Structure 1
Amino acid sequence: MRDKLERRSFLLLLVLVSVAFGFILEPFFGAIFWACAVTVIFAPMQRWVLTKIGQKPNTAAAITLLTCMAIVVIPVILLSTAFVKEGIQFYQRVEAGEIDPRQIMQQLRDAFPWLDQLLVEFGVDTNNLRERISNSLVSATQFLAKETLSIGQNTFGFLMSLALMMYLTFFLLRDGSKLIKLVVKALPLGDEREEALFQKFAEVTRATVKGNLVVAIVQGALGGIIFWLLDVPGPLLWGVVMAFLSLIPAVGAAIIWFPVCLYLYATGDWVSGTVLLLYGALVIGLADNVLRPILVGRDTKLPDYIVLFSTIGGISLFGINGFVIGPLVAALFMATWQIFMKDFNGDYE
């Protein structure tokens, strides 16, 4: 009886201490998560370096980390600096009245009067709707510009999180295999199941991060280039925004380029509008429709609709980190049920 009480008391203490430790780490969730993701992505390189230089884990981890910084971190910092600079300039133009969202809305209304009639037929109050859309455009434009300004002002916090992430990444690269073995030993799920789940975690994280980032970079670059060629204000700013929005499958980058296309038509620039429409549908859209299923859906072994819903749901719950966390949770959910059907029902092939 006493042994049973002691065991339950210890398990309760274990849970309480674990939850308390989780709350302590909560402010650093982003840095910890991305350190794990970077470690998973660069783990094959770490193993390759070890085979070339011998069993020198500290040196191998340092070489891998420096390579990661050269390939990922430094370009991201340079792009972020340029993004903030252009965002501040855009904000100043909005504040000075050089860019007026309400005027843009009025031009769209004048160019497409049939849209008002269509809305009236569906019982929509177009006067209030126009006012709400105009106010929303003003608010959205100012919000985007102010957030860009805020990013520039919070540089210290960003660099601190980046430093913590890289510091943790070094130790995860060096000791990752030992930590995985320790976790497998500690969890009471069965070693075979735990190893299968860890493998799924690595597969999905690697595929989701690499695949989505490649799609984001390609779509953002393609969008920024066409905006620059068509002389749209802030091409780098909108290119980066399209890259972020492209993390949402199917509709991401079109949220930016399609309204700009309508605006070009509304201002009478039919050539530029047609070029942007064709380019957006055939080039930017093709990058999403071709690359994402190849780089994300195939490697994660998730259906396209699961990738879509889990990505949107993940972003809504966890912010930018959700584009990885969402599909990851979905993949672990499906893997867990597959293990359950195999082990407990015995009818899964």
Structure 2
Amino acid sequence: MDSARALLLAVAAVLLALAVAFVLPFLDFFLLAVLLTVVFLPIQERLERRLRPTVAATTIVVVASVTVVLPLLYVVRAAAADAVDLYRAASAGDVSFAGVEAQIRAATGVSVDIGSQLQAAVGGIEVGSVVSVFGVLTHALIGLGLTLFLLFYFLKDREDFLSWVRTRAPLPDTAHDRLARELDRILKAVLVGHVFVAVVQGLLAGIALFATGIPNATFWTVVMTVLSLLPVVGSFLVWGPAAIYLFATGDTAAAAGLVVWGTVVVGVSDDYLRPIVVDRYAKVNPAVIIVGVLGGIYVVGVMGIFFGPVLIGMLRATIDVLAEEFGPTASA
């Protein structure tokens, strides 16, 4: 009996390792499908009151394609094009910092050549050696197709999967229910309380970049959206230097307008929108968000922005459930 169990465990371990290896190349798209499932699950449940689960899931996949996937693909494409243009301009020495260099020389008496230093820093990098454009495009298209495919089955077969987990995981029903509630709460906390606020702030700051004529504004808007996940500083790390750049190049009115917009509009959205949403709907410690976002990006990639805080939050929930169900006071 022990040998049979050991054999089955070994086979399960090998199959698990192979399954993980199969998923890893498309991990971002797999996690995107999970994220979209959480977002669209309430709609799926409402549609199932009138439609069959298959029809409801198909409808949501079509809606997700039009409202989420295609716009996301467009934004990524535009941001990538801006990043390539910025790289080429910097490597060719076409980015001028004459105004900024003059301001530094006037203030400190030290002459600097920012343009030459930037050109030297990126000049040894070839775009073609970093990524294959065709390979990246093919991978993205396959991944997005996989995302929609997984979204369909995650929505349609979710009850069967959850039932399978309940019957196979050796946990009491109370532990299952507690972990499910905590996972739902933390996911909503990250999505509604922080990602939503970051998107609003990134878009508001991006409007100012477009209005003031900052080059490669789409790319910098995406960067600000990610940085807005960090409380206090956030998008200022981009629009602040942009205002300095405008002032140094002699566009004082645009620089002043950018500072006023960033301080008043973007700043007020952080001061008022974040406490309202986070404190009321997403009570998760900001330290969990910051560590989860930064660590998640390093470990997982882009989707770590969403799932990094979730994993850290679930660690605490799991420890709480472990203590309540199996700790010294559990029997009492």
TM over 0.5: yes
Aligned partner of 1:50: which letter? E
Consecutive unaligned residues in structure 2, runs of 5 or more:
none
- The alpha-carbon deviation at position 207 of structure 1 amounts to 3.5
- Preserved contact between residue 297 and residue 303 of structure 1 (Cα < 8 Å): no
Gaps of 5+ in 1: 117-126
Change (3 A) 1:28 1:333: same
Structure 2 counterpart of 1:32, one-letter code? F
The answer to whether the Cα contact below 8 Å between 1:94 and 1:142 also exists between their aligned partners in 2 is no
Aligned CA distance change for structure 1 residues 67 and 142 (closer, same or farther; 3 Å): farther
For each residue in 1:269-290, what CA deviation from the matched residue of structure 2 results, as whole angstroms up to 9, or x when unmatched? 4433332223222222333343
- Counting only pairs closer than 5 Å after superposition, residues 188-337 of structure 1 correspond to structure 2 as 188-296=170-278, 298-337=280-319
Give, in whole Å, the separation in 2 of the partners of 1:324 and 1:87: 23
Structure-2 residue corresponding to 1:48: 46
Q: Check whether the contact 1:216–1:246 (CA below 8 A) recurs between aligned residues.
A: yes
> CA shift at 1:232, angstroms?
2.0
2:104 partner amino acid: R
Report how far residue 234 of structure 1 moved: 2.5
Measure, in 1, the Cα distance between the counterparts of 2:123 and 2:263.
24
Structure 2: how far apart are the matches of 1:325 and 1:195? 21
2:29 to 11, 28, 31: 31
1:25 aligned partner, one-letter code = V
Identity of aligned residues (%): 26
Matched residue, 2:144: 162
- Determine the C-alpha separation between the residues in 2 that align with 1:284 and 1:151: 37
Q: How many residues align?
A: 327
CA distance 1:30–1:234, change in 2 (3 Å)? closer
1:131 Cα deviation after fit = 7.6
Question: Deviation string for 1:50-104 (max 9, x for gaps)?
Answer: 1122xx1110100111122222112222333433444444445445543135x46
DSSP 3-state at the match of 1:252? coil
Name the structure where helix makes up a greater proportion of residues.
1
Alignment partner of 1:98 is 2:83: no
Q: Is the 8 A contact 2:288 2:312 kept in 1?
A: yes
Distance 1:51 1:307 in 2: 36
Higher mean C-alpha deviation, range 91-100 or range 246-255: 91-100
CA RMSD in angstroms comes to 3.3
Tell me if structure 2 keeps the 8 A contact 1:204–1:328.
yes
Instruction: Give, in whole Å, the separation in 1 of the partners of 2:10 and 2:37.
Output: 32
How has the CA–CA distance of structure 1 residues 133 and 212 changed in structure 2, closer, same or farther, with 3 Å as cutoff? farther
Deviation of the 1:165 alpha carbon? 0.7
- Following the alignment from structure 1 to structure 2, what is the Cα–Cα distance between the partners of residues 171 and 341? 35
Show the counterpart of 1:340: 322
Q: Using the alignment, how far apart are the partners of 1:91 and 1:219 within structure 2?
A: 26
Structure 1 counterpart of 2:138, which letter?
F
Residues of 2 paired with 1:92 and 1:8: CA distance?
Answer: 57
Give the Cα–Cα distance (whole angstroms) in 2 for the partners of residues 316 and 245 of structure 1. 14
Q: Is the counterpart of residue 83 in structure 1 residue 83 in structure 2?
A: no
Matches within 5 A, 1:120-159: 135=117, 139=121, 153=134, 154-159=136-141
The answer to which of 60-69 and 280-289 deviates more is: 280-289
Select between 204-213 and 57-66 the one with higher mean Cα deviation.
204-213
Instruction: Name 1:110's counterpart in structure 2.
Output: 105
Please give the alpha-carbon distance, in whole angstroms, between the structure 2 residues aligned to 1:24 and 1:106: 51
In the TM superposition, what whole-angstrom CA distance separates every residue of 1:102-150 from its partner, at most 9, and x where no partner exists? x465245225429x7xxxxxxxxxx9xx68997468747998x959x96
Show structure 1 runs of 4+ deviating over 6 A.
130-134, 140-143
Are the equivalent residues in 2 in contact too, given 1:111–1:267 (CA < 8 A)?
no
The answer (yes or no) to whether the contact 2:37–2:155 under 8 Å persists in 1 is yes
